[in-house]
Amino acid sequence: MKKSIKVVAAIIENDQREILCALRSPRMSMGNLWEFPGGKVEVGEDLFFALEREIQEELSCTIQPLEIFDEHSHEYESFIIHLVAIKAKLLNGFPIASEHSKLVWLKRENLLSLNWAPADIPAVEKLLGE
């Protein structure tokens, strides 16, 4: 049976209505694909707390999670992901990539120009329709 993982991902929007997109590095699993920054939820962990923790670890800044925007399961070849995309705002600091290869802020209409992790497509499409 395939392993199931629960992952939280932050949809962070700036004052210009641009959304933060992160490129997974070639060293990471699913390398060279774009994602919303975040990571795996630990057992028993609150989703918003997990998101704050992951963003602090990965981007060295503080966010405030606002609301769950989209939840989807996606079956990859070797595991099943339950991806919870959560809208969030920057509270302190500015995102700095430590694990990712690149961070970009994009307007909604440009989001589909990136090569997204397949599990993220429903959330990206929902953002386009907002």
Ligand X SMILES: Nc1nc2c([nH]c(=O)n2[C@H]2C[C@H](O)[C@@H](COP(=O)(O)OP(=O)(O)OP(=O)(O)O)O2)c(=O)[nH]1
67 near 84, Cβ under 8 Å?
Answer: no
Residue 50 exposed, middle or buried by CB count within 10 Å (0-12, 13-18, 19+): buried
Least spacing, CB of residue 23 vs ligand X, in Å:
11
Q: What SS3 class is residue 58?
A: helix
Least spacing, CB of residue 120 vs ligand X, in Å:
5
6: part of which helix (H) or strand (E)? strand 3-12
Query: Residue 23 or 81: which CB sits closer to ligand X?
Result: 81
Q: Select the span of 12-20, 34-42, 65-73, 86-94 touching ligand X (CB under 6 A).
A: 34-42
Contact status: 102 vs ligand X (CB under 6 A): no
Tell me the C-alpha distance between 126 and 7, whole Å: 18
- Which one of 39, 59, 86, 95 is in contact with ligand X (CB under 6 A)? 39
Both ends of the chain: CA-CA distance in Å?
Answer: 36
- Which one of 51, 63, 86, 117 is in contact with ligand X (CB under 6 A)? 117
- Which one of 14, 17, 30, 31 is in contact with ligand X (CB under 6 A)? 30
What is the distance, to the nearest Å, from the Cα of residue 48 to the centroid of all Cα atoms in its chain?
A: 13
Contact status: 120 vs ligand X (CB under 6 A): yes
* Chain residues that interact with ligand X, rule: CB under 6 A: 7, 9, 28-30, 35-40, 81, 83, 117, 119-120
